[in-house]
Amino acid sequence: MSIAELLVPEFDHEIAVTRQVLERVPDDRGEWKPHAKTFPMAHLAQLVARLPGWVPMMFDRSELDISPTSGPKFPGYSIERTATLLAEFDRNAAAGRAALAAATDDAMREPWTLKKAGSVLLTDSRYQMLRSMVLNHLIHHRAQLGMYLRLTDQKVPQMYGPTADE
């Protein structure tokens, strides 16, 4: 069994759970944040919506500079309605799944590097970077978003087991 064949079912599961969390982000609480050092809810939701789009990007190139000193920058965060975030998430999830399903084991073993302003932050196999920078990163921020939902009295969906709401 290929690495992609092992990862696609996990990706599908995490995407389905993540979509349920995003569906519950209230349109009227986009600016809300639990602490001065945290993202507003809409920015966190936008990050979650964008993360599956890293999969095709990671197969299209061997490195990414998240804060390049020249050239194009990442788009900033904005306050968007939940329907807009879900549409972006669905596009990114579909593209991510397609890229992952098409990946060869050789491509998974190739090195991939994350940089900031030209300095290397991490280099590992594309497989390990997909696990940490996409799947684990998505799960981490989804959990944060679940806490934001709880703190704003929204119903929290089941992620790995029942919640107080389900």
SS3 labels along 28-75: HHCCCCCCCCCCCHHHHHHHHHHHHHHHHHHHHCCEEECCCCCCCCCC
Pairwise CA distance, residues 110 & 103, whole Å? 11
* 145 touches 44 (CB < 8 A): yes
Query: Model confidence at 20, in pLDDT bands (50, 70, 90)?
Result: very high
Q: Where are the alpha helices (DSSP H) in 51-164?
A: 54-60, 82-102, 105-109, 126-129, 137-151
pLDDT tens digits for range 82-125:
999 999 999 999 999 999 999 999 999 999 999 999 999 999 99
Pairwise CA distance, residues 159 & 146, whole Å? 9
| H/E run at residue 122 | strand 119-125
pLDDT tens digits for range 51-82:
999 999 999 999 999 999 887 777 789 999 99
Residue 44 has pLDDT above 90, yes or no: yes
Domains and CATH numbers, the chain: 3-151 (1.20.120.450)
Residue 46 has pLDDT above 90, yes or no: yes
pLDDT of residue 74: 73
Q: What proportion of the chain, given as a percentage, has pLDDT over 90?
A: 92
